Amino acid sequence: MVDELPLFSSLTEKEIQAMEALLGGPQKYAMNGHAKEVEESLLKKTGAKSIKDLVSLLHREVIRANISDTIKKKSVDHILKDPRFERFQVFAEQGVRILDNSTHQYLYVNEATTTLIGYTPQELLKGGLTFGHRKTHPWDLLQVVLLSRKVLKLWNNLPEEDKLNARFSYDIRIKHKDGKYRRILQHAYTLSLNEHGKPGLLMMVSNDISAHKTSTKIQYVFGVHRPTHFEILWNGETSPHGNPLTERETQVIYLIAQGQTEIEIAESLQISAHTVKSHKKNILSKTNCRNTAELIRVAMMEGWI
């Protein structure tokens, strides 16, 4: 699978970094006004309609694997009757989806998924993976693409038994139907292999962890379930999503969010009120926010504070 990624392989490391910057990554504030030029170059090269569309195409390319209808039906029927699947249905209201990697359509979506993201099983079944991509934060989705390619290199070297007991977990931001992003922890399990030993069907098990995490760093772990333990083969975390604030600016915006006035902030940080006002002006300019209310909303959503 790793050797069958023409679109992915056509991109250089600098172009991938440019994509991250265009999606608000750490390099965003160093593009020096060339964002439009870089975007047009990437779209012309790849034929994508937008950078978000390009990320979606990359993800579908990375996970694509053909699988026969016979294996597909047998696998889905088998997992739906598996006692472990029943536990997934009731534990902590976990959302469960079964994805066909040959068509990128969902073959099964449980009702608990609606609690997580607001959309019904019917909406996801109709829209498929592309629908899910549109609801996923584009910078997060690009990180999942990059992580997935590395995971597949590890996964391809596993014996068949381990492939079917492997798990890839990561957390991303998904936009709820109410318009707000939720931090969702995803666990990906391989249900079946195609004739080339690639993951034909995936089961995605999801939990809302918004109450426990505000950081924009994506934490990930890949490993294999053993009879007595879970063996971790690779884990870590990504860089945060484009925090343009210095440590002092982060302190200032945090205190603003706490409701402190400029004079109170000055006393808390032992600086002058004039300096606080300068920091505030610089922060608004750097983040392209129109006022403090918008700034606080962005800072909290991005996990800067």
Domain containing residue 115: CATH number: 3.30.450.20
User: What total of structural domains would you count in the chain?
Assistant: 3
Q: Pick the last residue of a domain from 16, 34, 63.
A: 63
pLDDT in tens, 158-172: 999 999 999 999 999
Clarify whether residues 31 and 138 are in a common domain.
no
Q: In whole numbers, what is the pLDDT of the chain averaged over residues?
A: 89
Residue 2, pLDDT score? 41
Q: Predicted confidence band at 92 (pLDDT cuts at 50, 70, 90)?
A: low
Same domain, residue pair 232 and 140: yes
One-letter amino acid at 301 equals M
- Show the domain range for 262: 247-302
Task: Give me 71's structure tokens.
Answer: 């294996």
Q: Does residue 198 share a domain with residue 227? A: yes
Q: What is the DSSP letter of 260?
A: -
Residue 87 binned pLDDT confidence (cut-offs 50, 70, 90): low
Asked if 271 and 168 sit in the same domain, the reply is no
Question: From the CB of residue 232, how many other CB atoms can be counted at a distance below 10 Å?
Answer: 11
Q: Which alpha helices (DSSP H) does 181-241 contain, by range? A: none
Residue entry with tokens 């976990």: 94
> Is residue 119 domain-shared with residue 178, that is, in the same domain?
yes
Residue 119 and residue 54 in one domain = no
Q: Would residue 242 count as lying in a domain?
A: no
Which CATH number does the domain housing residue 298 bear? 1.10.10.10
pLDDT tens readout for residues 101-139: 999 999 999 999 999 999 999 999 999 999 999 999 999
* pLDDT at position 82: 73
Segment 36-48 shows an average pLDDT of 95
Q: Are residues 169 and 183 in the same domain?
A: yes
pLDDT, residue 294, reads 86
Vertex 23 angle, CA 12 and 95, to 5°? 105
Residues 21 and 157 in one domain: no
- The verdict on 198 and 85 lying in the same domain is yes
Write down the pTM of the prediction: 0.78
Of the pLDDT bands very low, low, confident and very high (cuts 50, 70, 90), residue 302 is low
Residue 29: per-residue pLDDT: 55
- Is residue 208 scored above 90 in pLDDT? yes
Q: Tell me: do 189 and 276 sit in the same domain.
A: no
| Burial tier of 212 (Cβ tally within 10 Å: 0-12, 13-18, 19+) | exposed
Task: Give the per-residue pLDDT at 1.
Answer: 39
Residue that terminates a domain, selected from 182, 208, 237: 237
Q: pLDDT at position 21, please? A: 85
Q: How many CB atoms lie within 10 A of CB 207?
A: 19
Which pLDDT score is estimated for 81?
78
pLDDT at 233: 98
72-76, 157-161, 290-294 — most confident range: 157-161
Task: Count the Cβ atoms, other than its own, within 10 Å of residue 48.
Answer: 17
Query: Are residues 169 and 288 both part of a single domain?
Result: no
Residues 134 and 257 in one domain: no
